[in-house]
Structure 1
């Protein structure tokens, strides 16, 4: 067995997430709603803005195996901003992988009012078969790639956006597409 094969075979249990990126972009449906309402998508620090309304999470941590089993935490968030200055920040997403759900803390800020923080809300992300691949990068490190994945609003998330902006987004509506490249270390 080669050293690379041994590292992948040994990666039955989760190792530490040591770096990587998660890039998210609004879907066409969300972009249409944003444009109709004069809204925009912004990155909440320390996440970074990407061209095309995307957001990059590059402060990632947690535990994960080369088969994407584990827990992923991201710092920063995605902000929806209305033309009247209303802002909905979806902050510090985290979740068990690959179970298909991620939660984040929503915070709504209206001009001249105190920010209102809600309870953590979930989004669902059903992984497409074959969208996850892992490979060893040394005897003790590995990389996991997750292909384009739809993120759909759960009922509380859709209600929060609709309450903040007067939109009519439906629960289970796909609002973001995300990809990930994550590095990990065994042990």
Structure 2
């Protein structure tokens, strides 16, 4: 299985994904909500795609939800209900700094993302895997850049 970016997100060197269209708000203590355009695509060897679109999450602790869309070769895309991924952040893994008078950068260290039941079922259905809820699905790091106001 490979991971790709779903437009308007972009692929970064090393397999990362960059979300350029992010909206939302965050306090100085990193409390807030972020909504992203685009998403990531999981692509199986047989051409089956699971697009995870329009992710939305709460910071610093909470859940990320996204709209799943499965496309199998020769079939129309099937969109499902929004599914959730839990991401408990390790204390001290979030840090921030101003980059100018009106901009800032927030860094989130390596974080485990665990599937909720609906997300595990969707991936298992698409790819014939046996993922279970609450097991680590992937690890992510993030750098968020924002503007005050």
SS class of match (2:35): strand
Inter-partner Cα distance in structure 2 for 1:78 and 1:143: 23
Query: 1:176, CA displacement in angstroms?
Result: 2.1
In structure 2, the CA distance between the partners of 1:144 and 1:113, relative to structure 1 (3 Å rule), is: same
Greater percentage in helix: 1
Unaligned runs of at least 5 residues, structure 1:
1-38
Give 3-state SS (helix, strand or coil) of 1:172's partner: coil
SS in 1 for 2:104: strand
Shift of 1:184: 3.0
Looking at structure 1, the residues matched to 11 and 126 of structure 2 have their Cα atoms a distance apart, in angstroms, of 22
User: Where do 5+ consecutive residues of structure 2 fail to align?
Assistant: none
CA distance in 1, matches of 2:91, 2:98: 20
- Deviating more after overlay: 117-126 vs 169-178: 169-178
Q: 1:141 to 1:53 in 2, by over 3 A?
A: closer
1:17-45: CA deviation from partner (whole Å, max 9, x where unpaired): xxxxxxxxxxxxxxxxxxxxxx2211111
The CA deviation at 1:63 is: 0.6
Bigger drift between 118-127 and 97-106 goes to 97-106
Paired positions, count: 149
CA distance in 1, matches of 2:90, 2:129: 29
The alpha carbon displacement at 1:59 in A equals 2.4
Distance 1:49 1:137, change over 3 A: closer
TM-score by length of 1: 0.73
8 Å contact kept, 1:67–1:132: no
Query: Which structure carries more relative contact order (alpha carbon 8 Å, separation 6+)?
Result: 1
Q: CA deviation at 1:185?
A: 3.2
2:130 alignment partner, SS class? coil
Q: Could you give the per-residue CA deviations for residues 106-158 of structure 1, whole angstroms, max 9, x where no partner exists?
A: 00011121111001100011001001112233444332221111111111101
State the Cα distance separating 1:72 from its structure 2 match: 0.8
CA distance 1:85–1:141, change in 2 (3 Å): closer
**Distance (Å, rounded) in 2 between the aligned partners of 1:98 and 1:105:** 21
